[in-house]
């Protein structure tokens, strides 16, 4: 006996049929329907009066009264066969909650939550509202279109989920495939990846439409999986909330007391500049890894009295861990911080902004001058002089400037997880060219950070003329990604989402011109500081860590770890201090040397160790001491 396509097929056990008081009936299949149907179908269908259940029986008998008010029909166009119908009296005439098509909406919500969780602490939670609304709209439209074609809720839900998953996984697949080749074809091309994904999603949708299998169990399973994914997506937010609560209950009390400094016996205390070039590679790695020979810059520094530690390595390979260590003159794990999971990077804000170095210098009359960095943990907004830009609000990079509509960093990331990444750069460019900036600023994250970096270079040279003594702190988010500058300082078009994590395409090719630009600007800044200073200042020019562009360094023995650890580290100190410097000196000892030689302290130098830590936002804090073999390229 032939059976037409249906939403849900259930076998009826013989014992159940007999318990219903109907003998000699062999029920083959039972289908549930949402739509109201009455009358006989083309294949001898028997429809319930309520229009929700259709029961098929195959038995040559002449009795003709169906249970629950069904009417019987015959196979039209074939030899007439007498049939009668039966059904389970306790069968529910509606779909259960677990068979509702909830999964498209759950997976869409997970796409936003997963992105928010991966960036929690770096972005504002409320920035996820618009991406969430967009994601749920995509799910709703997908479900609606699938319903139009199938008229079956379970099938429509499964088809919608296929397209929701394809839509929100496209960007991740594109990043994963990258420049991989197969038989001479670069897989990381939109035409290949988009075509392949369309074929897969289309084939899956067709299979769902044509199947006659029981889909109830599958729908239940997919709902459970989607719900579990959503719960997992909430974990980072819950962990971050817990960490914030714990930090509120156990705030950092400063850990290390200010150092008692002695003012120099002769002359005024020197101005002190601590300048961080984020992700600036050590010279040997800059040449071998990126083809940029910065020997002219190194010669410039040495000709102006700098000591360049050409074997220096970072003590920690994450920005906030590194700066918390150098500004407090000890390894991060020794600072007494409540390093609970989910506390990154916020737990390091106070040790950086109110460091032992800053408080010690302020105790002997120094004023603190800080420059806006665009990275919240290193924003010393309560400095005596805080220099930002007039056109960008100083409350944080994730806070949009005044405008009717802006694209936040999280929204930028969200767009680039979808096929919209194909048109987004061109769309942003068109909107920026044709829309007043007070109405729309879609390119906000890129433009804002460019302004901040340029302002830092401009302000650093000018601040030398302000009254001293002063401690000047500048954290410049370059040449680290995002790659915003060409070698001549002109803006470069975006090739990926706005991110500080370093996931842009072709990172080596884009890192080099930005490093060239940063090198030119910092050389100009150093020359301007020296020219505008009344007496020789103390300048420490460092990178917080080396570059990770184009390298894998996620575990201690990864090939990219040596490049990530190798840093620029240059010192302009009084001549009497030069004997304390050596080629492998590391940031943890920088201010120990400065305070010993210029302010009469007697710090013992610490070992110049490098500690590996996994991504702190995604794991517990660990500090793995790397040996020399693991740090050699």
pLDDT at 398: 39
Phi, psi of 483 (to 5 degrees): -90, 105
Q: 12: which 2 tokens?
A: 């009826």
> What per-residue confidence (pLDDT) applies to 633?
62
- Residue 125: per-residue pLDDT: 81
What pLDDT does 38 receive?
Answer: 32
Nearest to 509 by CA among 489, 490, 481, 488: 481
**Smallest Cα–Cα separation from 420: which of 27, 8, 65, 138?**
138
Residue-wise pLDDT tens digits, 239-267: 777 766 766 666 666 656 778 888 777 77
DSSP character string of 435-475: S-TTTEETTHHHHHHHHHHHHHHHHHHHHTTS-SSEEEEEE
What is the model's pLDDT at position 12? 37
> Residue written as tokens 């962990």?
239
pLDDT of residue 254: 61
In contact, 212 and 6? CB cutoff 8 Å = yes
**Domain 272-396+467-496+509-631 bears CATH identifier 3.40.720.10:** yes
Question: Angle, to 10 degrees, between the axis of helix 129-150 and the axis of helix 103-118?
Answer: 160
Domain ranges of the chain: 1-94, 97-235, 272-396+467-496+509-631
Q: Are strands 405-406 and 440-441 parallel, antiparallel or unpaired?
A: parallel
Closest by alpha carbon to 281, among 524, 569, 487?
569
Half-sphere exposure of 12 (CA within 13 A, CB side): 25
- Render pLDDT for 28-84 as a digit per residue (tens, 0 to 9): 333 333 222 333 333 333 333 233 333 333 332 333 333 333 333 433 333 322 233
Is the backbone peptide bond immediately before 482 cis, with ω within 30 degrees of 0? yes
Separation of CA 401 from chain center = 22
Q: Which residue numbers in the chain have pLDDT < 50?
A: 1-94, 391-404, 437-444
> Which tens digits make up the pLDDT trace of 543-555?
999 998 767 777 8
pLDDT at 317: 93
What does the pLDDT read at residue 391?
A: 37
């Amino acid at each position: 006996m032939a059976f037409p396509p249906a939403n849900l097929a259930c076998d009826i056990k013989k014992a159940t049929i007999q318990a219903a008081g109907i003998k000699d009936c062999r029920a083959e299949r039972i289908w549930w329907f949402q739509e109201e149907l009455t009358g006989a179908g083309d294949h001898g269908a028997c429809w319930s009066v309520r229009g929700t259940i259709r029961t098929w029986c195959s038995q040559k008998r002449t009795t003709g009264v169906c249970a629950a008010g069904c009417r019987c029909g015959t196979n039209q166009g074939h030899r007439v066969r007498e049939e009668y119908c039966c059904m389970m009296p306790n069968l529910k005439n509606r779909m259960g909650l677990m068979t509702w098509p909830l999964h498209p909406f759950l997976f869409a919500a997970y796409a936003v939550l997963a992105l928010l969780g991966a960036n929690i602490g770096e972005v504002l939670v409320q920035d996820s509202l618009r991406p969430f609304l967009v994601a749920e709209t995509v799910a709703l439209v997908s479900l609606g279109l699938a319903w139009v074609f199938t008229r079956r809720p379970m099938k429509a839900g499964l088809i919608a989920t296929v397209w929701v998953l394809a839509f929100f996984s496209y960007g991740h697949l594109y990043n994963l495939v990258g420049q991989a080749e197969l038989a001479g074809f670069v897989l990381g091309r939109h035409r290949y990846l988009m075509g392949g994904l369309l074929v897969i999603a289309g084939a899956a949708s067709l299979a769902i439409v044509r199947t006659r299998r029981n889909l109830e169990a599958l729908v239940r399973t997919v709902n459970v999986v989607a719900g579990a994914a959503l719960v997992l997506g909430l974990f980072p937010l819950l962990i971050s909330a817990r960490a914030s609560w714990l930090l509120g209950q156990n705030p950092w009390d400063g850990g290390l007391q200010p150092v008692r400094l002695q003012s120099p016996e002769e002359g005024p205390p020197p101005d002190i500049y601590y300048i961080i070039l984020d992700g600036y590679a050590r010279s040997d790695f800059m040449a071998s890894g990126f083809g940029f020979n910065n020997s002219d810059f190194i010669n410039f520094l040495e000709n102006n009295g700098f000591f360049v530690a050409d074997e220096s390595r970072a003590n920690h390979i994450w920005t906030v861990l590194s700066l918390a260590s150098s500004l407090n003159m000890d390894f991060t794990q020794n600072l007494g911080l409540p390093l609970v999971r989910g506390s990154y990077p916020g737990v390091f804000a106070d040790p950086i902004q109110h460091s032992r170095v800053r408080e010690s210098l302020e105790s002997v009359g120094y004023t603190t001058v800080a420059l806006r960095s665009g990275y919240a943990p290193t924003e010393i907004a309560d400095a005596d002089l805080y220099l930002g830009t007039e056109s960008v609000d100083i409350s944080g990079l994730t806070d949009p400037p005044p405008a009717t509509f802006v694209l936040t960093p999280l929204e930028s990331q969200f767009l680039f997880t979808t096929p919209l990444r194909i048109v987004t750069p061109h769309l942003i460019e068109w909107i920026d060219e044709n829309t007043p900036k007070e109405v729309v600023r879609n390119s906000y994250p890129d433009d804002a950070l460019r302004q901040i970096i340029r302002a830092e270079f401009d302000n650093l040279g000018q601040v030398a003329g302000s009254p001293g003594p002063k401690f000047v702190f500048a954290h410049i988010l370059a040449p680290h990604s995002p790659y915003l500058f060409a070698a001549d300082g002109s803006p470069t078009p975006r090739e990926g989402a706005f991110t500080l994590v370093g996931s842009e395409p072709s990172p080596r090719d884009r890192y080099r011109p930005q490093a060239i630009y940063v090198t030119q600007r910092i050389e100009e800044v150093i020359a301007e500081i020296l020219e505008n200073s009344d007496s020789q200042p103390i300048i420490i020019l460092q990178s917080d860590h080396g570059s990770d562009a184009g390298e894998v360094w996620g575990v201690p023995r990864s090939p990219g770890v040596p490049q990530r650890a190798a840093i620029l580290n240059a010192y302009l100190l009084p001549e009497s201090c030069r004997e304390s410097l050596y080629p492998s000196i590391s940031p943890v000892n920088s201010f120990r040397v400065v305070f010993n030689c210029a302010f009469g302290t007697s710090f013992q130098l610490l070992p110049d160790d490098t500690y590996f830590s996994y991504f702190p936002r995604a794991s517990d804090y660990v500090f793995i001491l790397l040996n020399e073999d693991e740090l050699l390229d």
